[in-house]
Amino acid sequence: MSAPYHGRTAIASAFQTEFSQCSGCSVLQLARTACLGAIDAVGLRPKDVDGVVQFGLFNDSVPAEVVGAAIGSGDLSYVMDFAQGGQSACYMAMHAAMAVEAGLANTVLVYRALNGRSGVRIGRVKATGGASGYRYPLGFGAYPHYTAMWARRYLLDTGSTEADLGAIAVALRRWALLNERAVRTTPLSLDDYFASPYIAEPYRVEDCTIEVDGAAAILVTSLERAVDLHAPPIVISGSAWSSHGYDGDMGSSLLYDDYSRNFTNHLRERLWGTAGLGPEDVDVAELYDCFTGALAQNIEGLGLVERGAAGTFAREGHMNLGGRLPVNTNGGLLSEGYLHGMNTLTEAVWQLQGTSGSRQVDGAKVAVACSGAMHSGAAIVLTALR
Amino acid sequence: MTGWPPDPVDEAEVEFWRHLETGELRTPQCRRCDARTFPPLGGCPDCGGPEADMAFTAVSGGASLYSWTTIHRPLDDEFEDEAPYTVVVVDLDEGPRMYGLLSASVTIPLAPGMRLTFRPQIFRGRAVPAFTPSS
């Protein structure tokens, strides 16, 4: 079952603002900057935009139509605001591609913008619904707590250790040292990792992402049109979404069966089937990593490494520049910063466009990216024409 | 999400905590098909029965440990003084999965599948589900 937009739609460009602890400007301003950057990168004008898609949580964003108006877009024939978090970035790209393929719009912006550190800190907002009312009274109320439950079970079921989680944090910091945009730029050794204090066992400070202010945007259009624009088109070759045992509260996992395998386990076959490619074809992987255990489950769930082998893969240097499969080449959400996975997707685009500078993976033609850590999420396979 | 108009009171949630105040652990159970569910999700996810046919009925209190985390940083001022404390995910013998505290006095190492028994505990002035290793 492959959707008709696969192979016929493309990401034309990607743009990011700088990341900071305090942007000093509004979320609308951030979104505007990222969107105008993505438009300008391919030589289009705001009036050419006829679709806008965005995601946000707890009113931390600005609606798609508002950003359309703020940039002076053309009349919008497709808009969507999706009220989810880390699951969303790849899924929003899929939506934009669907809109293009369905003839609802020609040129669709996808953005994520937030003052995630200086404004609404989503980790500090009390959720409602699902099992939220049954966990807050236990002092079980923050993302590191929720995902630590999954990491614990992952370690138990795979025989992995805290040193394996540490190896992942160390590997991604190495990438961040090559990325001027990254927020965490102090070199990290395994000793440093073990010296960082626990937040919720087995997670330490260095297992967790870091909140930032910033914005990122991509531009999606038909492949036919993208080849005439000013940047190499990145083909949306395959994609999939999965929701499994999600009760609507990110902090609750009472309906989910196996905490050692996340949503990627449930979309893997569909994803590679839609792309007509497999894990062995991937040159670079950009995978959602709000926490080290999420990266382990994502890389294993997509079939890129054997189950339980993520830590060893990191420790042996295979995720690094020049390694067997470079992973999270911007330093990931762990070290570049938490732009809610939109920066995971933009990095995949830049790697395939060959514009990642000192962290460029030589000759990268196939990338896989994913969005999400637990119950639900999306993944996308991107290919370069060159 | 907080805001205006305020969210309506979740009656199922109120009922769950009311039973717990009296020392009883109950979960919604469908009168039509007997299936138990947790958390409450309106009606019955198994047979599609309406909320009116869901009743909170007592469970035995027997459970198996599925996962746990010891929280050192509650990231919520209300709980800072309690840390570290351990939150568990347990599979009740009757089926549903549930959150609870590990009873404060437990010092033996935890292991997946460990048999646990429900013991209500007062935490921050409120009765909450807690579990202790079965003797």
| Residue among A126, A138, A259 whose CB faces B99 most closely | A138
B121 → chain A, closest CA residue: A138
Q: A200–B68: do the CB atoms touch at under 8 Å?
A: no
pLDDT tens profile A279-315: 999 999 999 999 999 999 999 999 999 999 999 999 9
Nearest neighbour of B39 by CB, restricted to A58, A254, A259: A254
Q: Which residue of A has its CA nearest to B6?
A: A128
Predicted local confidence at residue B1, as pLDDT: 44
**Best residue in B7, B13, B71, B126 to probe A by mutation, most A CBs within 10 Å?**
B71
In whole angstroms, what is the distance from residue B78 CA to residue B82 CA? 9
Nearest-CA distance from A369 to chain B in Å? 29
- A83 and chain B: CB distance < 8 Å anywhere? no
Distances, alpha carbon A113 to alpha carbons A17, A58, A73, A212, in Å: 9, 13, 18, 10
B66, B69, B100: residue with CB nearest A148:
B69
So what's the ipTM on this one? 0.95
Partner-chain contact B70 A123, CB within 8 Å: no
User: What's the confidence (pLDDT) of residue A1?
Assistant: 57
Smallest CA–CA separation between A133 and chain B, in Å?
7
Q: Mean pLDDT in chain A?
A: 97
Q: Is A134 a catalytic residue?
A: no
The half-sphere exposure of B24 on its side-chain side, counting CA atoms within 13 A, is 11
Inter-chain touch B99–A199, beta carbons under 8 Å: no
Neighbours of A82 (CB within 10 A): 17
- 8 Å CB contact of B67 and A199: no
B101/A149 Cβ within 8 A: no
One-letter amino acid for residue A232 of the chain:
P
Which residue among A128, A133, A138 places its CB closest to the CB of B1?
A128
The 8-class DSSP code of residue B84 comes to: S
* Helices first, then strands: H and E counts in chain B: 1, 9
SS3 annotation, chain A: CCCCCCCCEEEEEEEECCCECCCCCCHHHHHHHHHHHHHHCCCCCHHHCCEEEEECCCCCCCCHHHHHHHHCCCCCCEEEEECCCCCHHHHHHHHHHHHHHCCCCCEEEEEEEEECCCCCCHHHCCCCCCCHHHHHHHCCCCHHHHHHHHHHHHHHHHCCCHHHHHHHHHHHHHHHCCCCCCCCCCCCCHHHHHHCCEEECCEEHHHECCECEEEEEEEEEEHHHHCCCCCCCEEEEEEEEEECCCCCCCCCCCCCCCCCCCCHHHHHHHHHHHHCCCHHHCCEEEECCCEHHHHHHHHHHCCCCCCCCHHHHHHCCCCCCCCCCCECCCCHHHHCCECCCHHHHHHHHHHHHCCCHHHCCCCCCEEEEEECCCCEEEEEEEEECC
Which is the catalytic residue, given A91, A111, A146, A338? A338
A252 CB near a chain B CB, below 8 Å?
Answer: yes
- Residue A124 is predicted with a pLDDT of 80
Distance CA A33, CA A17 (A): 7
pTM above 0.95, yes or no: yes
Q: Are A330 and A250 in contact (CB under 8 A)?
A: no
- Positions in chain B short of pLDDT 50: 1-2
Catalytic site includes residue A246: no
CB pairs under 8 A between A and B: 115
Question: What pLDDT sits at residue B7?
Answer: 62
All residue ranges of chain A with pLDDT < 50 are: none
